[in-house]
Amino acid sequence: MQRTNTFEVRPLSVNDEELLLDVLDASAALWNEVNYERRQNFFNGESVWEVSDYRERYKDVLGSATAQQIIRKNKSAWKSFLSLNEKWKDGDLDEKPSPPGYWGNEDDGRELSTLIRNDMYSVEFGDRSRLEIPIGSKLKDEYDYGYYERLRLEVAGEPKWTGEQGRLELTYDETTDTFRAIQPVEVPDSARDSPLASEEAALDIGANNLVACTTTAGDQYVYEGRSLCERFRETTEEIAHCQSLLDDQRRTSKRIDRLYDKRTKRRNHAQDALVRDLVEQLYEDGVYQLYVGDLGDVLETHWVAEVNEKTHNFWAFGRFVQRLESVCEEYGIEVCEESEEWTTQQCPKCNERDNTHRNEDYSRCNECGFEGHADLAASRVFLEKETSESVGLMAQPVCFEWDDHEWSEVSYSPVRVSPKEAHTNQSTYVVGKLASVDSA
């Protein structure tokens, strides 16, 4: 079975940091060049496989093996796209897929990442943990490296898994100024997760509260997202204002591109930190299986403008699930996407659906008198639906807020709305405020 180690790496000097950034930047440039040629061929009706010899062009910078790994990853991305495109043509997909995109551009910043073949790097853990990767002859000359010398990086942390190492991915997070290594590892079946990992959990994903989670161990977590969503909205309004000042002949500007980039990086940073914090909580709880809502049917039939802006554009549900699956793989937790139908409307105490009401974070059942946090209640109903078991008594929920750097625990104080103020209809949202999707 395959598991993944993720650890931070640190250059040993300013010179080494500049060298590493050059390696990552050259890798992004290689991806963009080969991807551009394949896109041009595709749109011109030509074969996407007949491209220039980019390995020869980049081997003196990256090394032949590293250049080949990036080209192969691009080829794999195009194979996946063409397969989805055929399904769309045959009517098996509702949404037309998009061709593989670029890793940014030189002016506005690239997505800095590279791939190292499994037999071309070495990593050691211990008192002097280190990672060594190859570099091309051109960079060796530029940075005064010997012919057989490799770039050595300090490793922070210990591996969670040991076994046959796979292809290493190195990335740079500009927001936190951090280099990270992602290392797939093939471990023997005998090393499967501890039998103590026997709990399950379910997530309710939204925008006011980004994630509400319930576990069969009786723990609940909620990650509050109002401040993040508000900053996203403010940047969106600033983008719209800048666009209104453009000439009719122009569609964008460097300032607009920078605002888009800033908005995306800020969201992604918070999202990635949330995923890791949540998965670590679940791992400590002994969770081996995590249920996440499949919003496909909801997006088609119940989406309204405000919900789309908050949950689809702001929260980027697809990216979130991909990141969640990746980190859960590190910890040996399986992610299952299942339907959330009716979980928001259903009372977790008596299962009533027609006589329940919600106002922002507050949920009330007029049949049995249940009152509580609406998203946490939905995640509990979702979990009980998937496990076919009653979760039982809940511990005091743990609430987290984002401070631009990390998710910090705060005192739990759910929004309280008196029954007289609660809406009496069960529409998807309260006017001016996001409530829930009708069948989620």
Q: What pLDDT, in 10s, does the model give residues 134-189?
A: 999 999 999 999 989 999 999 987 787 788 899 999 999 887 788 999 888 887 76
DSSP per-residue codes, 66-107: HHHHHHHHHHHHHHHHHHHHHHHHTTS-SSPPPPP---EETT
Residue 214 belongs to some domain of the structure: yes
The Cα 84–Cα 176 span in angstroms is: 35
pLDDT band for 293, please (50, 70, 90 cuts). confident
Contact 297, 437 (CB under 8 A): no
Q: Which residues contact 197 (CB under 8 A, 6 or more apart)?
A: 286, 287, 288, 332
Regarding whether 20 and 145 lie in a shared domain, the answer is yes
Least confident of 193-202, 203-212, 229-238, 400-409: 193-202
Q: Model-level pTM greater than 0.85?
A: no
Regarding whether 173 and 124 lie in a shared domain, the answer is yes
DSSP per-residue codes, 282-321: HHHTTEEEEEEE--HHHHHHS--HHHIIIIIIIT-HHHHH
Q: Is pLDDT of 298 > 70? A: no
Domain count, the chain: 2
Average pLDDT over residues 283-303: 68
pLDDT band for 431, please (50, 70, 90 cuts). very low
Phi/psi of residue 136, nearest 5 degrees: -75, 160
Give the residue numbers spanning the domain of 403: 199-226+266-434
Counts of helices then strands in the chain (DSSP H, E): 10, 22
CATH number at residue 341: 3.30.420
Q: Which residues contact 116 (CB under 8 A, 6 or more apart)?
A: 65, 66, 69, 133, 134, 167, 168, 169, 170
Residue 432 zone, left/alpha/beta (φ > 0; ψ -120 to 50; rest): left
pLDDT band for 356, please (50, 70, 90 cuts). confident
Regarding whether 180 and 53 lie in a shared domain, the answer is yes
Regarding whether 321 and 352 lie in a shared domain, the answer is yes
**pLDDT score at 439:** 30
Residue 233 belongs to some domain of the structure: no
* Amino acid of residue 163: G
Regarding whether 296 and 222 lie in a shared domain, the answer is yes
Residue 240 belongs to some domain of the structure: no
Q: Which residues contact 287 (CB under 8 A, 6 or more apart)?
A: 197, 199, 200, 201, 215, 217, 333
* Amino acid of residue 354: D
**pLDDT score at 419:** 40
Strands 168-173 and 113-116: antiparallel
The Cα 267–Cα 225 span in angstroms is: 11
- Mean pLDDT in the chain? 81
Chain centroid offset of residue 260 CA = 18
Regarding whether 172 and 48 lie in a shared domain, the answer is yes
The burial class, CB within 10 Å (0-12 / 13-18 / 19+), for 132 is: middle
Q: Which tokens in the block code for residue 353?
A: 């659906």
Regarding whether 187 and 221 lie in a shared domain, the answer is no
Q: Of 191, 212, 242, which one is at a domain's C-terminal end?
A: 191
**pLDDT score at 73:** 92
Angle, nearest 10°, between helix axes 54-62 and 14-43?
Answer: 170
Residue count of the chain: 440
Regarding whether 207 and 149 lie in a shared domain, the answer is no
Residue 244 belongs to some domain of the structure: no
Residue 74 belongs to some domain of the structure: yes
Regarding whether 171 and 120 lie in a shared domain, the answer is yes
**pLDDT score at 263:** 86
DSSP E strand boundaries for 68-227:
104-105, 109-110, 113-116, 122-124, 130-133, 151-156, 164-165, 168-173, 178-186, 199-205, 209-215, 220-224
Residue 249 belongs to some domain of the structure: no
Regarding whether 214 and 154 lie in a shared domain, the answer is no
Regarding whether 280 and 181 lie in a shared domain, the answer is no
Residue 257 belongs to some domain of the structure: no
Regarding whether 282 and 186 lie in a shared domain, the answer is no
- Among 134, 193, 138, residue whose Cα is nearest residue 160: 193
Strands 220-224 and 287-293: unpaired
Q: Of 169, 191, 213, which one is at a domain's C-terminal end?
A: 191
Residue 131 belongs to some domain of the structure: yes
